[in-house]
Amino acid sequence: MAVVPAVAEETFLSDVHLYTPFFQTSKNNVDFTSYLSYFKNNVCHEYMKLANATTGNMSETSGFHFLFCFFFFTRLQLIGFDQVWRGALLLSDFLVYNEERFNKCIALELGAGLGLCSIVLGRVAKKVFCTDLRENILRCCQNNITANSHLFKYGYDVVAVRKFDWLASGLPTGEGDFCWTKEDQEVLKNATVVLAADVIYDDSLTDAFIGTFLRLMEANKPITLLLTIERRLNFTLEELAVTSPAYNYFLSRIKELETKEQRLSTRKLDIDFPNYLQYERVKELELWEIKPA
Ligand SMILES: C[S@@+](CC[C@H](N)C(=O)[O-])C[C@H]1O[C@@H](n2cnc3c(N)ncnc32)[C@H](O)[C@@H]1O
């Protein structure tokens, strides 16, 4: 039997965090102090210390402070799953800027990762279902949400972490962790906002994601998808040029659903609202609003 030598597993760092150990800004009378910490061997470093620090004096500030934990380094097969992506930072800025619009809304976040946008929206929403696929990610997400539940205006349990797989035929129900109760499913029917950050990177997942939104649209008529995308650029042999194939595929699908099938109305929104969180608003970042036609 051949012996396979043990190879030290390589880890990768998300460039979002390279120069921003803390997101800390104050703009337009909104003070943001988010304490970033990181998971190592599944233990969140300095978690409790920072969580305690964030619970004091919240109501005395004009803005808010939140604690957000993420994986600083990630293994190759988990890239895309356990870190925070620039799309989530852009969408969070948009949610803060439009806080009044979202007051008391019922929302669903798809592919939430570690839950940043759900936390930001949870401050003013009546209910947010923060969803993703894998249980280990959902657990970290739950930790982030619990650590920030004092920020939620309409109750500490406003944000519920649930499993939602775009490729599955239904929602997981039953007794297990992150399953949907009957009551959740009833509340979900009244959701008017769907959030998704940085979920466009693989064509078959894009199909599954769009299919999920179309199904939600059938159940909830007045529903709006707010989707952020960071166009990933690649040199392709097919086109002999630097292009963004995953983005182009997404565009072709939504344009088809808009013009040919007349099911969707789509709009790319201006992203000139303030940069509350610290990150580089690169030119590849976009925000889309997608509604039923
Ligand atoms: C690039 S990450 C973005 C995470 C987060 N929205 C952010 O911007 O930080 C893509 C997310 O989509 C989720 N995802 C991938 N396939 C999925 C599926 N079939 N159903 C539900 N979520 C999925 C992944 O688990 C991951 O959290």
Q: What is the pLDDT of residue 47?
A: 36
Nearest CA to ligand 1 atom 4: 113
Per-block average pLDDT, block size 10, for the chain (293 residues)? 51 56 50 52 40 37 57 57 80 91 98 92 96 90 86 94 95 90 95 97 96 93 94 78 89 96 96 82 95 95
Q: What was the pLDDT predicted at 61?
A: 37
Whether 38 and 14 have beta carbons less than 8 Å apart is answered as: no
Instruction: Give the binding-site residues of ligand 1, using a 6 Å CB cut-off.
Output: 80-81, 84-85, 87-88, 111-113, 132-134, 137, 164-167, 197-199, 205, 208
Q: Please choose, from the candidates 193, 188, 194, 195, the residue with its C-alpha nearest in 3D space to the C-alpha of residue 219.
A: 188
CA of 18 relative to ligand 1 center, distance in Å: 21
Pick the atom of ligand 1 nearest to 212's CA.
20
CA of 181 to the centre of ligand 1 (A): 22
Ligand 1: nearest atom to the Cα of 199: 10
pLDDT value, residue 55:
38
Classify 138 as helix, strand or coil: helix
Q: Pick the residue whose CA is nearest to atom 5 on ligand 1.
A: 113
Instruction: Give nearest CA residue, ligand 1 atom 2.
Output: 80
- The closest-lying atom of ligand 1 relative to the alpha carbon of residue 113 is 27
DSSP E strands, the chain: 11-13, 23-27, 30-40, 43-44, 64-71, 73-75, 106-110, 127-132, 159-163, 193-197, 224-230, 234-236, 241-243, 264-269, 285-292
Q: What is the pLDDT of residue 114?
A: 86
DSSP structure class, residue 257: I
pTM of the predicted protein model: 0.84
How far, in Å, from the CA of 28 to the mean position of ligand 1? 31
For ligand 1, pick from 199, 279, 285 the residue to mutate: most ligand atoms within 8 Å of CB: 199
What integer pLDDT is reported at residue 78 of this predicted model? 58
Quote the CA–CA distance of 67 and 6 in Å, as a whole number. Answer: 37
Q: Are 276 and 32 in contact (CB under 8 A)?
A: yes
Measured from the CA of 166, which atom of ligand 1 is nearest?
Answer: 20
Instruction: Measure 1 CA to ligand 1 centroid, in angstroms.
Output: 39
Nearest CA to ligand 1 atom 22: 111
- Find out whether 210 and 257 touch, Cβ atoms under 8 Å: yes
Nearest CA to ligand 1 atom 15: 111
